[in-house]
Structure 1
Amino acid sequence: MSKPTVVSLFSGVGGIDLGFMLAGFEVIWANEKDRHACVTYRNNFNGSNNIIEADISTINATAIPKCDVLVAGFPCQSFSVMGYQRGFKDPRGNLFFEIAGIVDTIKPKVILLENVRNLIYHANGKTFITIFNTLAELGYEVKYSIQNASTHGNIPQERSRTFIAAFSDYDMLNAFSFPGEIPLTVSIEDILDRTKKHHDDYYYKPGNRYYDTLNRKIPDKTGIYRIDDSGVAMRKYVMSPTLKANMGTYHDRVPVIRDDFGIRKLTPYECLALQGFPKDFIFKGIPIEAAYKQCGNTVCVPVVKRIAENIIKVF
């Protein structure tokens, strides 16, 4: 029996794609406009020719193959509590309607959308209602859930995201349910090796504006810390705070730990591990800033894999 097929929009480095592949789906076509993200995608999916590097608004929907499932982690900046929350007034928010146009053309059986937790609350719920009603007008029945990496993916990161699952068939909708919570058995100490010396560039040194404060506020080799707009946060996290795309723009936004050699930022590979990516996933041929951005922009793979496992059951 052939595998159910997936078309992926706003693919990034392929976090959603990987979750679906691990659950038994075949990704036949993907799209991402960020050049560095496409490099990472190709490096990790066998030089994949399936990833089309282009702005989605420039692609004719008729050129996209028909599929069983359409997935999209569409841009979240205009819905995030961190931004101005302009929603559909922001061109990035309007990209949802690009998805709707493609759905209307290729008519997948199932749609899975991922966005920030705040999506369902934005503009007093009006943004979410617009998305819900648009999908309904296209003939889809909708379920949604907020899933957290720590409670639904067994990954020690505080990362809540809204997932919207839409089905063209009512029986499929009834047969599907979002995964429930599971125990968190993995700690940050299972992921971070404090005995390993990393490149000097990761370590804070005398002369850095945060060096003295970090040494005062991080007294031992436990927990994880972060720097925010007000400076070094007082709180010691027992799991990773949410990894954000601005790690690639503001390097001090990368979470911080003390190891056997000093105080340092997490490496991009540690950030990948805190998103549940496998150890053989690589960064190659891109700037480190792009790698950090990609880590913050992607999804928690085990969360998506569990959702995809429930979706494949209804086929």
Structure 2
Amino acid sequence: MKVGSLFAGIGGIDLGFQQAGFDVLWANEIDKKACKTYRLNFPDTTLFECDIRNLDASLVPKVDIISAGFPCQPFSVCGKQKGFEDNRGNLFFEIMRIADVINPQIIFLENVKNLVNHDNGRTFNVIHNELVTRGYYIRYLVADACDYGIPQHRTRTYLLAFRDIVQCEAYRFPEKTKLKQGVFDIINKSATVDCSFYLSENSLKYSKIMNAIKDDNQIYRFSDYGIQSGKDGICFTLKANMGTWYDRIPIIKDDYGIRKITPYECLALMGFPKDFKIADILLKNAYKHIGNSVCVPIIQQIANSIKT
């Protein structure tokens, strides 16, 4: 089955579908720096680098599945929650515009947990109705990544819309699994990293974080409410604001000092493989792109279930 990807970012959803054996034929992304990383990792996928509102659906190849991790900020509890009143929220209807032309068998959507409850459920009801009136049957799951093998609390809504009611009724989301690894099974505290990631021992932040670290096997970060700690070896949600406020990048105590985790360690905590490459872009952009991405193994499991 062939996939077309909207709001592709650096390709987390696309990678999950690829790993499950699907062919990602084309993708669309507006962020120029995210496109650099995407092209580096998906050289065989046609990338339409433009605003989705300018994407001519009649010019893109037909596919069996359209995937879209559309902007979550309008629906997130961390944002202003303007929903469809936010221009980014209205981009959902661009997905529908393109689907009307391509007529895929399946539409896969990913967004924040709050999508289901936003505006007392009215937002989700609009999405539901837009799909149902087009002849789709819907299944959805609200799931935390740590219940599916990734040591990160990242709760997201995953929605599948099927053209075939039999396929919809037969579909089963993957079962929860017991977490077998913690943060430091993924991040090697003995590995050497660039000294620029370490906090200066003379800095106020170093002093604050040093006093807050009660367990060397947890991960920490500065937040609006003070210093936040992981629990049970599970990382808190990696957010896009890692690229906006540098002190929002998670912090660990390793064998050499106290430091921020690197972009590649962030990728690892999102389930990206070791051979995934970040383009030559600013660190703040890399952190932002990763925070906006998805936990790849969950996408792979959901895609695998489509095949079966």
Bin the TM-score by the shorter chain.
over 0.9
Mark the runs of 5 or more structure 2 residues left unpaired by the alignment: none
Matched with 2:300 is 305
Corresponding position of 2:86? 90
> Where does residue 189 of structure 1 map in the other structure?
184
1:193-218 deviations in whole A, cap 9, x for unaligned?
A: 11122111111113433111111111
Per the alignment, residue 27 of structure 1 pairs with 24
How far is the alpha carbon of 1:233 from its aligned partner? 2.8
- Judging changes above 3 Å, is the alpha-carbon distance between structure 1 residues 84 and 63 closer, same or farther for their aligned structure 2 residues? same
Instruction: Report how far residue 280 of structure 1 moved.
Output: 0.5
Alignment-mate amino acid for residue 16 of structure 1: I
1:10 matched residue in structure 2: 7
Deviation digits for residues 122-175 of structure 1 (CA, Å, limit 9, x no counterpart): 0000000000000011110111111221102x0100001001100111111112
Q: Which of 113, 116, 123 is the aligned partner of 1:120?
A: 116
Corresponding residue number in structure 2 for 1:232: 227
User: Is the contact between residue 66 and residue 106 of structure 1 (CA under 8 Å) also seen in structure 2?
Assistant: yes
Q: Is the 8 A contact 2:184 2:233 kept in 1?
A: no
Cα distance between partner residues in 1 of 2:56 and 2:127: 22
239, 250, 254: which one pairs with 1:259? 254
Residue 44 of structure 1, aligned match among 26, 30, 41? 41
Q: Once the 2 structures are TM-superposed, how far is the Cα of residue 220 of structure 1 from its aligned partner?
A: 4.8
Flag the 1:65–1:235 CA change in 2: closer, same or farther, 3 A.
closer
Matches within 5 A, 1:111-190: 111-152=107-148, 154-190=149-185
For 1:171 and 1:64, locate their aligned partners in 2 and report how far apart those are by CA, in whole Å: 28
Aligned with 2:52 (options 34, 51, 56): 56
Judged with a 3 Å threshold, the aligned counterparts in structure 2 of structure 1 residues 86 and 216 are, in CA distance, closer, same or farther, namely same
Q: Distance in 2 between matches of 1:225 and 1:238?
A: 11
SS at match of 2:35: helix
Q: Residue 292 of structure 1 is aligned with which of 287, 294, 297?
A: 287
Does the 8 Å CA contact 1:87/1:93 hold for their aligned counterparts? Answer: yes
Backbone CA RMSD of aligned residues: 1.3
Which range moves more in the overlay, 225-234 or 194-203? 225-234
Which letter does structure 2 place at the counterpart of 1:36? K
Hey, what's the Cα distance between the residues in 1 that align with 2:230 and 2:270? 22
* 1:69 correspondence with 2:90: no
Q: Which amino acid aligns with 1:32?
A: E
Amino acid across the alignment from 2:16: G
Tell me how many residue pairs correspond in the alignment: 308
Give me the whole-angstrom Cα distance separating, in 2, the residues matched to 1:230 and 1:223.
18
- Once the two structures are overlaid, the 10-residue window that deviates more, 102-111 or 61-70, is 61-70
SS at match of 1:78: coil
Which one is further off, 202-211 or 185-194?
202-211
Give the Å deviation of 1:235: 6.2
Q: TM-score, normalised by structure 2?
A: 0.97
Structure 2 counterpart of 1:145, one-letter code:
L
Comparing 89-98 and 227-236, the one that deviates more: 227-236
TM-score, scaled to structure 1: 0.95
Q: SS at 1:79's partner residue?
A: coil
Residues 20-53 of structure 1: CA deviation (Å, up to 9, x unaligned): 01111000010000011110011112x3451111
Per-residue CA deviations over 1:77-114 (Å, capped at 9, x if unaligned) read: 00000011000000000000000111111000001000
Corresponding residue for 2:272? 277
Structure 2 SS opposite 1:147:
strand
Distance 1:177 1:212 in 2: 49
One-letter identity of the residue aligned with 1:125: G
Equivalent-residue separation in structure 1 for 2:117 and 2:175 (angstroms): 21
Identical counterparts, % of pairs:
49
For 2:21, what is the secondary structure of its paired residue? coil
